[in-house]
Chains A and B, each alone.
Chain A
């Protein structure tokens, strides 16, 4: 094709991934480039497909629970929750208050951990490699909390049908205290390190702008949606567990570019920490009690379908469970937030340079385990 200077130029295809340091996993994008500028994107996924939904059909409900952890492996408990909530709808069981508080507490701790990974990896993808070490150190404190509570750092399988696996102990209290001490200092330090950095600003401001209408058209959810100006958070607008007891403050930014998505996560980190403190206080004020409702030994939920959705760190995750009244589910389907989030790549990526593509992918904070399932 001839461009405006009367010169002949060709569009060539660049393979971004699947083996690439910056695609957050095995994401393969076939990018059509005109010189340095991208003119088309074709996203190819499936390199991490493990057949999770089919696998869950051949396991009982309890056996299937550890598999769900592996969807968004950066926030294990958050993936247990929609599956468990959907099955509990079919079981018709009422979860005790203490168990709900524990569910919310662990979900928020892992949400904080997931945000840390998101912002750290974003800075690393932009080139400042040291920027990834500080959030990961803070994430260690969050993982220590989960480790003290249920014994596993990453894939917890902590949330069970009717309640949770275990109650808190002194070790957990000690780790929580460490978390409360360290995270505010870290957030302040990270703001100083990154926020006004001129190089960072030139690489993120105005890149990958998503308008609010586009965000809603493409079913974007989570911090990506809130950074584009849409004020929607499932914990506040359609509360599950006991979120309606707490005052969930949701920061909303309107710029919709990579910088806004990054700042959205940083601002939400502070709000999450505040929420963790409130839930923890409520938990300690709650008298010691049951953490598990009475459910039958052999789980056979009523025949039918149930759908439950929760606000995960990456967006809204939903789980549809269809049951025939047997030991195994008939069909399980997950609405995975990262899968829907990356659909917008084909709209916003053309027109940007190669370096910006990296910035855009990283600002979405995707997890391939979730995309491929």
Chain B
């Protein structure tokens, strides 16, 4: 019968019309991010950082801006550690490159800010492993970020990456 294909198609659409909606209604429902999710803001464990600069060398896009200085014991420490997030690819190479696993990507995905000057993230200015995002208006502090580093524990990737 001519038109059978069209009727079959209409039947499929009718069935879909009465099926439950699949939309995740943001902001009432927040997305469930996987544990290894790569994105969001950066967090630095300042006590553990040895100022080696490997993260900046691993970055493809020159996102990390660091300045070092030597203190009385001739030990290197970091005077500036800024992530220029407007250039960031969120590839996670910096997190993998860190030998002390002190650089992390958090699960905070609502990172939009009102001023372009707020986009670069000064990692030394934040309190250890917690940060408040925006200077504009009150924003609640971030939930504790996922403690595991992005690269899973069983991989021996640390030895292989540059």
User: Which residues of A are interface residues toward B (Cβ below 8 A)?
Assistant: 59-67, 130, 134, 137, 144, 147-152, 155, 157, 160-163, 165-167, 169, 171, 189, 192-201, 288, 290-295, 297-299
Determine if A62 and B58 form an interchain contact, defined as CB atoms under 8 angstroms apart. Answer: yes
User: Which residues of B are interface residues toward A (Cβ below 8 A)?
Assistant: 2-6, 8-9, 11-13, 16, 22, 34-39, 58-60, 89-93, 96, 150-152, 154-157, 159-162
Taking the nearest CB of chain A, how far is it from the CB of B60, in angstroms? 4
Taking the nearest CB of chain B, how far is it from the CB of A144, in angstroms? 8
Query: Considering the chains assembled together, what is the distance between the CA atoms of A193 and B37 in angstroms?
Result: 35
Determine if A197 and B5 form an interchain contact, defined as CB atoms under 8 angstroms apart. Answer: yes
Determine if A171 and B34 form an interchain contact, defined as CB atoms under 8 angstroms apart. Answer: yes
B91 contact set on A, CB distance < 8 A:
65-66, 152, 155, 157
Q: Which of A161, A167, A171, A193 contacts B13 (CB 8 A)?
A: A193
Determine if A290 and B60 form an interchain contact, defined as CB atoms under 8 angstroms apart. Answer: no
Taking the nearest CB of chain B, how far is it from the CB of A188, in angstroms? 10
What 10 A-B pairs have minimum CB-CB distances, sorted nearest first?
A196-B5, A151-B38, A66-B91, A63-B60, A151-B36, A193-B12, A197-B5, A148-B34, A62-B162, A193-B9
Determine if A163 and B8 form an interchain contact, defined as CB atoms under 8 angstroms apart. Answer: no
Query: Considering the chains assembled together, what is the distance between the CA atoms of A159 and B48 in angstroms?
Result: 29
A291 contact set on B, CB distance < 8 A:
155-157
Given contacts A67-B60, A167-B155, A193-B9, contact A297 B162 (CB under 8 A): yes
B37 contact set on A, CB distance < 8 A:
147, 151
15 additional A-B pairs beyond A63-B59, A63-B93, A166-B36, beta carbons within 8 Å, are A62-B93, A63-B162, A66-B91, A130-B16, A147-B36, A152-B90, A155-B89, A193-B9, A195-B5, A198-B2, A198-B5, A288-B154, A291-B156, A295-B160, A297-B161
Q: Which of B2, B5, B151, B159 contacts A166 (CB 8 A)?
A: B151
Query: Considering the chains assembled together, what is the distance between the CA atoms of A295 and B22 in angstroms?
Result: 45
Most buried by B among A166, A169, A171, A201: A166
Q: List 12 A-B contacts (CB under 8 A).
A: A59-B60, A62-B93, A66-B91, A151-B39, A152-B38, A166-B152, A192-B9, A197-B6, A197-B8, A198-B5, A201-B5, A298-B162
SS class of chain B's interface: helix, strand, loop or mixed? loop
Query: Considering the chains assembled together, what is the distance between the CA atoms of A293 and B157 in angstroms?
Result: 9
Taking the nearest CB of chain B, how far is it from the CB of A286, in angstroms? 14
Q: Which of B11, B13, B36 contacts A149 (CB 8 A)?
A: B36
Determine if B156 and A290 form an interchain contact, defined as CB atoms under 8 angstroms apart. Answer: yes
A62 contact set on B, CB distance < 8 A:
58, 93, 161-162
Taking the nearest CB of chain B, how far is it from the CB of A215, in angstroms? 28
Query: Considering the chains assembled together, what is the distance between the CA atoms of A28 and B160 in angstroms?
Result: 43
A193 contact set on B, CB distance < 8 A:
8-9, 12-13
A66 contact set on B, CB distance < 8 A:
60, 89, 91, 93
Q: Which of A161, A292, A299 contacts B156 (CB 8 A)?
A: A292
